Structure 1
Amino acid sequence: MDLSAVAFYVFSILIIGSAAIMVFAKNIVHSAFALMFTLAGVAAFYALLYAGFVAVTQLLVYVGGILVLILFGVMLTTRGYFEKVRTRTVALLPSSIFVAIIGALLIAVFVTTEWSKMPLEDGQVTMTGLGELLLTDFMLPFQVTGVLLLLAIIGAVLMASRARYPQQRPHPDNPGHPEGDPKGPQEPGQDPQQSADGDKGSG
């Protein structure tokens, strides 16, 4: 057994174990980090297949982009980012049947397919060639992708700023006072507790 076969089995165990943790973990943050190891294992598979560009793209897009987006979405929710995930018992039966059918189909394909035993060789397309293609023939899709990523970053910043500094609406009884704050707006840097104590002392 050569080193590539050992690496294949190691990364297979990593992917299966982290995927199981991702599915059965009740903490959504733990599931997100288990997803990170699953996606990293898939990137390692691409590296074993001499697809270095696809492996790096897997790490940058999925691990560095999608996973961070999931964590941001969890942390910016009002429930907090250690919310427990509860799966209803009614949903376990149909999901288990669906997983069993998919697993049976994959096993059937794996057993009945005559896999090629030709040795893998390094591909003709290099990183330099891919870079030239992205900046010549595929310039427009490359620039559009950059604009979409920029819009996603701007949207994430706006979501974070709104979650940190929520806007106050006027109180229905007194338009001059913010809703839920009969004392009115506080001065910048002023502690609301100190303001309340000062009002009691003056009264």
Structure 2
Amino acid sequence: IKVMGSYCPSCWYPCFPTDLVTPVKSFLNILDSLGIRCPVKECDEEILHGKYGQHISSHKEKKDRELYSHINKGGRPRQHLLSLTRRAQKHRLRELKRQVRAFAEKEEGGDIKAVCMTLFLLALRAKNEHKQADELEAIMQGRGSGLHPAVCLAIRVNTFLSCSQYHKMYRTVKAVTGRQIFQPLHALRTAEKALLPGYHPFEWKPPLKNVSTNTEVGIIDGLSGLPL
């Protein structure tokens, strides 16, 4: 039916695929083993009938890639995407970005990040880079291999490291392992603020006699719970 159209191959009477019975498996095996010469220009390869559709699809994909690729008429040679500046990357990917945004708004409630990360994960797994994909997936789900900022702060304090010494260690570990195991200094500062008195609001229940109800207390503002 796919080859002949919506007609019976015997009497040429109009029909639908559901009107015909699938041939026996032995006949299909013989049919799939027949050799067919590829009609695409400059290919002229002989392929089996069973793999004809796959072969033609590969030609179509190659043609689509050639149509999509940028035609560089003179000037500088085209640079690889990763070697470009952020502005140039945005300019080159503007059409793809528009399509991803449209898909995200239509299918995923506007979550562009989730769509892009999923595409990246699928690309990694397609290249059998499952370890990197697993690590990225763990980071996306909040269970990455890196240490918590509060743990890094405890390490820095207990080992008597200055900020510059810790930063040097952070950069070295990141460069050697290729992963961010320790957290940057700004994350440690945020964790330190959260651990200091007066960061989290609280209220005594029942209220304490002769003690201020003001929650902005602690060493940050120096009030130390004194009545105002």
- Judge same fold: TM > 0.5, yes or no: no
Normalised by the size of structure 1, how large is the TM-score? 0.26
Higher RCO (CA 8 Å, separation ≥ 6 residues) = 1
Normalised by the size of structure 2, how large is the TM-score? 0.24
Larger Rg: 2
- Determine which structure has the larger helix proportion and give its number: 1
